[in-house]
Structure 1
Amino acid sequence: MGSAQEEISVDVLVIGAGPTGLGAAKRLHQINGPSWLIVDSNETPGGLASTDVTPEGFLYDVGGHVIFSHYKYFDDCIDEALPNEDDWYTHQRISYVRYKGLWVPYPYQNNISMLPKEDQAAAVDGMIDAALAARVANTKPADFDEHIMRTMGEGIANQFMRPYNFKVWAVPPKKMQCAWLGERVATPDVKKVVNNIIHNKTAGGWGPNATFRFPAKDGTGGIWIAVAKTLPDSKKRFGEHGTVTKVDANAKRVTFKDGTVVNYNKLVNTMAVDALVEHMGDKELIDLSKDLYYSSTHVIGVGIRGERPERIGDKCWLYFPEDNCPFYRATIFSNYSPYNQPQKGVKLATQQLGDGSKPSSSELKDGPYWSIMLEVSESSMKPVDQKNLLKDSIQGLINTEMIKPGDEIVSTYHRRFDHGYPTPSLEREGVLTKLLPALQDRDIWSRGRFGSWRYEVGNQDHSFMLGVEAVDSIVNGAVELTLNYPDFVNGRRNTERRLQDGAQLFANKKAGMQVDTEL
C-alpha cells in the first residue's frame, strides 16, 4: 500500500491483527462509516492464535486453543470465514488429570472416586472442613489460594490445585487474586462427590468447552487468516510496513519501521499494553505498567511414527500437576484433525527414539503419524532450563506413559512466547483501573489478551469481541460488556446472546428492570 515515507490519515487505526484487532476491523468494515486501517508486524495475521508448521509437516498452535463461544456474533463471523461443513471438526472434550500413575477424569475435584483410598479420605476431609468453614465465613477470599482452601479444602489443594496452578501460572496461588475465576474452576458438590465414591462412579463433562470445534485445515491460525481475507487489502498493512516504532499519543501519530506515519483520531491497540506505553515513552504509565505480571509460554511439539496407541485413544487435552514432567498440559493435537500431521504416505526419517538414542537407520519411511503438543510456563519465580527443555519434555512423556522409550520421533518443535499468560495478580486491578482509563482519555482503546490484561476474557471469542465492542464504543458510545462485565458475558446461558441483545439487557438492568443476570 503506497511507498515508504508516506503520511496517511484515518479515523480509526487498529494495531495488531490477532483476534482482537480482527474483531475491531471486522466491525469497522461492517459499519462502513469511519475510515480505518489495521496493521501488524507479522506478515500472517493471527497473533497468539496462530499456527506454525514444522519442516516435516506437523502443525502446532500457540498453545491449546479450541473454539467454543459465548457470542453469536463471533460464531457468525468465523462461519462466514470458513462456511463449509467440511471446514470444521466437532469434538467432545475428553480430558484427564495424570495423578500417581492414574488418569483421573477432568475436573479432578469432581472425580475423587478415582483416587487411591488414602487420597480420597484426605480430599473428603478437606471438603467437609471447607464446607463447614464456608458457612461462617463473612469475608471474600483474599487470594486464589484462600479460594481453593475455602471451596475444596487442603486435600485437593495439596494433591492437585496448588501444584497444578503453580505449573500453569508460574506464580504461587497465594500471589493471585480470584476475581478472574468465573466458570473456569469447578466447585465440588460434597454430597455428589461422596456419593460417587460410595458407588465408584465418575462425574461427567463440565464447563463451557465440553464440546468444541476445530478447523479441518491450517490449525487455529487458519481461522484468522480466513477472517482477515474477508477484509479489503487496501486497509491492511502487515510485516515491516505494519511494524510500529513510535506512538505519539498527543499528536495522534504512529510511526512505522518503513518510515510511514499514520495520523488517527481514535486508536484501538491490541499489542501488549506494557509494550504500548514503552512505544509512547510515557514514564508515568511505564512505571504503572511495571506492576502487571505475565508468564512466558514454551510450546513443544513431538511428532511420532505409528498408529496412535490405544492408551492415548480419543483424549483431547491432559493436565499434569506432578513434578515428573516439566509440562502442565499436553494436547493430542493429531486427534483434532487428520490434517494436523503429514499423511500416511509421506516418508520421513526417524530423528531419535523416545529414550533419546539414535535410530538404527536413517532411511525415509512411511507413516502413519500422530502428535503431542506440550505447554511449559516460565517466570522469574519458575525459571526454565531452555537448552534442555525439549529433552526433558520427551523424558516427561515417557515418565507419564504418554510415549514409550522405543517410539520413533520424526519431528520436534520448540518455540517460546514471551507474553504467554497475563497473570491475574493481586496488583492487577490497581493497575488496570488507572492505566486503561488514562489511555482512553487519550483516545486509545487498549484491548485484547494483553492489551487489556484480563485473562478471564482472554479466549479467542472474548478477544474478538473486545475488538468489536471497542469499535461500538468509539462509534456509538456503547457499553463494552466483555471488558467491564466478564461475569455477565461468561454466565452459563450466554452462549446464544447477540451483542445487541446483551447491550439491551444491560440497559434494562441499569434502568432497574427485572433481568436474569445469568444470561
Structure 2
Amino acid sequence: MKKIVILGAGPTGLGAAYRLHEIGYKNWNIYEKNHYVGGLSASFRDKQGFTWDIGGHILFSNNDRFNRLVDDLLHNDVLTFKRESWIWLKDSFIQYPFQNNFHLHPDKELVFECISGLFDVLQRKGSYKNFEEWIYYFFGEGIARHFMVPYNNKVWACPLNRMDYNWIAERVSIIDIKRVLKNIISLRDDSEWGPNNTFRYPLFEGTGGLFNKFLPYTQDHLYLNKNAVRIATDRKEVIFEDGEKASYDVLISTIPLTELLGKIEDKPEWLGRSVEEFLWSGGYMVGIGIRKPCPSNKNWIYFPENNSPFYRITYLSNYSPNMTPTGEFFSFLAETSYSRFKTVSKETIVEETIQGLINSKLLKEEDRSLIVSTFLIDVPHSFPVPFVGRDTTIKNIQSFLSEQNIYSRGRFGGWKYEVGNMDHSVMQGMEVVNRIVFNKEETLYKI
C-alpha cells in the first residue's frame, strides 16, 4: 500500500482525507502549517462574539456528490437562501448581474450608453486576445466602462489585458441581446442568472463549521503546525520547518503552486523560471461588527467605483443568527484585493473600509460610535489570476510533477480559478485520491 502524504488541510486536503477514510485506506498523513483546518474556508470567532469568514463564502454546487457530502456532514444545521445580490453604482442599487439589469438604473444617460454599446456589439467583427478585449467585444463600451472593467480591476488587482478569457464559463453572464431587450421593454428585474441564485450556509461557526466536520475523518492522520519547507523528489521526502521529515510514495499538495515549486530541490531550470509567469492577488478581509439591528436583507453588494477600497461587502450576519453576539447586532465583511500591481495599506485598510461604507451610504457618520468590533485577516493568496498563457504553463508544470508522483490540486494548487470554489476544491481532493488509488480519470481538474 503506497504511502500518501497530503500537504494542506484546506478544502482540497480535507476532501482527499475524507475519501481516503471512506475507502478504508490506512497509509496516509495530512500536514497543515496552521493550528486550524479549513484553509481559505476557515472561520474565526473574535472576543466580542462575532464570527468572521475569510471572504464572502457560500455553499452552492451543481455537483450531487458534494451536496450529499454537505448533507451528511451538517445534517439539519444548514440554512437555505434565495440570493439577494446587488450593485452600488452612482448612488443607486441595481440587482446583479449588471448586464441583465442596467436598464433599471435611474441614471438614464448610463442606460443609454449601455444600450448604445450593445448595438455596437451587434456590428462588431474581429477577435479578442485577452480578458479586457473580451469584455469590450461582448458587452460594448457602456457596460464595460460603467461596471465590467472597473469592477474586475478591483477584484483581480491585475491588468485585465494580462488575463486570459478561457476561464469564464459560468463565472460571467454572457449578453443575450433578445433577453436584454425584453428586460428593457418590460422593465423586468432579471436577477435569476447564475449557479448561486440559491445557496446554503452553515448554521454554526461560519463556513469553517463545515470543514470542522471533517476532523473525525482525519483521526490520527492529521498533524497541525507543520510547515513544509523543502521537498526532495529524489528521496521522496518532505522536510518541515521543525526539522521533521516525512517520506511518501505519492504527494498531494494543496499549497500554492508557486510555493510548491520553490520548495522542490534540484528542479530543472525551466521549472524555476516558470514561476515568474504567475500572477495572483491577495486580499484584506475586514469585519465590522455594529451594535444595531441589521438595516437590510441583502446578502452581498458589488462596488465598481473608487470611493471605497472594497469590491464586495457581505452582510455576514444575515447568513446565520449565530454570526453575532446575542442581542441587536449585525456585521459587514468587506473584501479588498491587493497585488504587485496595486498596493493597499494594511495599517489603514480598516479605517478606509469604514469610510467606504459611509461613502456608499451603508453607514452614517454617527454609526461610528456603534462599531463594537473590527477584524482584519490578511490573505496573501486570494485570487489565482488566469494569466495569458496559463494553461500551457500549468500543463508543462503538472506533467513534470506527475512524473515525480506529485499531484498539485486545489484553488491555488491547481491554479484554475474556474474550478476553485469550495465545492470544486473538495471534489478535486476526492477525485485525485480516486486517480491515485483506482486509476480513475479526474472530471473536474483537467489539464
Same fold per superposition (TM over 0.5): yes
- Structure number with greater Rg is 1
Structure 1 residue 156: Cα displacement: 0.3
| 2:268 matches 1:308 | no
Letter in 1 for 2:64: K
Matches within 5 A, 1:331-350: 331-344=314-327
What secondary structure does 2:348 align onto?
helix
Matches within 5 A, 1:298-447: 298-309=284-295, 313-344=296-327, 368-407=328-367, 408-447=370-409
Work out the CA distance in 1 between the residues paired with 2:321 and 2:389. Answer: 44
> Per-residue CA shift, 1:253-310, capped at 9, x if unaligned?
112233332111111100111111211133622221221111011000100111112x
Structure 1 residue 131: Cα displacement: 2.2
Gaps in structure 2 of 5+ consecutive residues: none
Letter in 2 for 1:473: R
Work out the CA distance in 2 between the residues paired with 1:170 and 1:109. Answer: 22
Matches within 5 A, 1:14-413: 14-33=6-25, 35-83=27-75, 85=76, 87-115=77-105, 116-133=107-124, 136-137=125-126, 139=127, 141-232=128-219, 234-239=220-225, 242-281=226-265, 282=267, 284=269, 285-309=271-295, 313-344=296-327, 368-407=328-367, 408-413=370-375
Identity of aligned residues (%): 38
Structure 1 residue 228: Cα displacement: 2.2
> Does the 8 Å contact 1:78/1:227 carry over to 2?
no
Structure 1 residue 34: Cα displacement: 5.6
> Does the 8 Å contact 1:295/1:422 carry over to 2?
yes
Matches within 5 A, 1:442-461: 442-461=404-423
> Does the 8 Å contact 2:129/2:164 carry over to 1?
yes
> Per-residue CA shift, 1:83-142, capped at 9, x if unaligned?
2x1x11111110111110010100000012212111111101111111222xx54x5x31
Work out the CA distance in 2 between the residues paired with 1:201 and 1:434. Answer: 48
Work out the CA distance in 2 between the residues paired with 1:69 and 1:235. Answer: 28
Letter in 2 for 1:308: C
Work out the CA distance in 2 between the residues paired with 1:13 and 1:22. Answer: 12
> Does the 8 Å contact 2:101/2:191 carry over to 1?
no
Work out the CA distance in 1 between the residues paired with 2:23 and 2:401. Answer: 24
- TM-score of the pair, normalised by structure 1: 0.83
Structure 1 residue 473: Cα displacement: 1.1
Letter in 2 for 1:327: F
> Per-residue CA shift, 1:440-475, capped at 9, x if unaligned?
110000001111111000000100111111111111
> Does the 8 Å contact 1:113/1:202 carry over to 2?
no
What secondary structure does 1:290 align onto?
helix
What secondary structure does 1:27 align onto?
helix
> Per-residue CA shift, 1:356-390, capped at 9, x if unaligned?
xxxxxxxxxxxx10000000000121111222111
Work out the CA distance in 1 between the residues paired with 2:239 and 2:119. Answer: 60
> Does the 8 Å contact 1:112/1:193 carry over to 2?
no
Work out the CA distance in 1 between the residues paired with 2:174 and 2:64. Answer: 27
Work out the CA distance in 2 between the residues paired with 1:131 and 1:466. Answer: 39
What secondary structure does 2:66 align onto?
helix
Work out the CA distance in 2 between the residues paired with 1:297 and 1:148. Answer: 24
| 2:40 matches 1:13 | no
- TM-score of the pair, normalised by structure 2: 0.96
> Does the 8 Å contact 1:300/1:375 carry over to 2?
yes
> Per-residue CA shift, 1:217-257, capped at 9, x if unaligned?
1010111111122332x111112xx3222211111011223
How many residues are paired up?
442
Work out the CA distance in 2 between the residues paired with 1:74 and 1:191. Answer: 35
Work out the CA distance in 2 between the residues paired with 1:261 and 1:145. Answer: 46
> Does the 8 Å contact 2:97/2:191 carry over to 1?
no
Work out the CA distance in 2 between the residues paired with 1:275 and 1:307. Answer: 44
Structure 1 residue 409: Cα displacement: 0.5
Letter in 2 for 1:435: I
Letter in 2 for 1:99: L
| 2:440 matches 1:478 | yes
